[in-house]
Structure 1
């Protein structure tokens, strides 16, 4: 039995409810505000947040070039653009569920990107297997730099989830001052033509590289059902006992400030950090 077995170590963690549907600038600001809160508080309780981008959004990694995506096409399609505080490549948040998990470094988590990726990917995989019968594997190797692309879902990163060799979940992590945040996207249904247009790729190339949950599960999956699967996986794999929580007023105020200072600003989105 592993150290993180629910039978050995049940953990009282928070889950933010209800499922929030908001613009990208707010969602990214709220993730950073919660990470700041985790850094500032030794008593911060590990927290899972599950959310949806409304309207759809194209998010860029922290150091990703704005020119690596077709921003004009995104805007023509009514999509917002936002830059994440985490690294990685571009993600189309359209027909997908996004998760964000924030915790301080401490058992079962370490000051190690790979270890934390492994634990969280295993938890997500457990939920997808239990609820939908989806068998997802962790990518065992780092991608070659020559395979880098503006599209996150073209190549699985180390410890990301894939099904039959095709990427299912794209994630990114940020560590700072004794805490970390990992957030990621789980496509429920994919518009391959739109996805390919935004990243200048052939639709069939993307279709061969990634998979959505509808295809993996063999049926349509709602946002609410996918959210329950992830919560269930954290319980099975990490022993999470969920307490329903809401965004604290001081975290919400910090997020509002971050929208004004960063995420709602065109220059923040355009300029790689």
Structure 2
């Protein structure tokens, strides 16, 4: 065995030879070629982009949808464009197209005394008929045009006047209105209203407390009796008491059977109950009776 490779199957050998991975070799894990994978991915992306571009170019090159009967018809929009075109636009750039163009280089003040040279006149005479027609169109004057009349306006003084007027308007806008003087020593109306609201709230709270106190005095399962209802019930109780006394007096002093004895005892008990109820109704103070269920 070559002594140089005595660490081939050890961890040290894996460290010395970076092309081998001892852990992956021991675990039988395949070593991935990441550079090759990246190149393959790039090639796939390039192929996709190329196909996408070809599809877009093919789509753009396709003839747009149009009916066969209107395929060779020219749009009406171009008719207006043809009518608006200038006749022979290339002639406007030539020197012999008009006097306005030929006198561009003439010194100021010498336009009337300026006479074109023989070369210019020969060029004018040798111009084509359509050029001469254009020159005549340019040389014609507009009779309806009138130059502006001079005015004797002193713009400096006018600007000063406008500036002063603007300053006065700004000053009048910035003036704050004087605050309205209120009457001194008088309670405002909103305070009076608020005071009355507080007083009403206090009265309601006091009335609620009194009602709660009265309700607390009432025993459970009973209700208070008014004066009119109390007088009417007392009258009915006295009528029932008189009728029961009359019934009790109708019995014999010595009864000979049990039913008569039992009826006499019941009448006597009822008389005693009526007497007690009448005394309760005649007693001064509040009266409470049971609530009928």
Same fold (TM over 0.5): no
TM-score (norm 2): 0.13
> Would you tell me which structure has more helix in proportion to its own residues?
2
> Would you tell me which structure has more strand in proportion to its own residues?
1
Higher relative contact order (CA 8 A, sep 6+): 1
Greater Rg over alpha carbons, structure: 2
TM-score (norm 1): 0.14
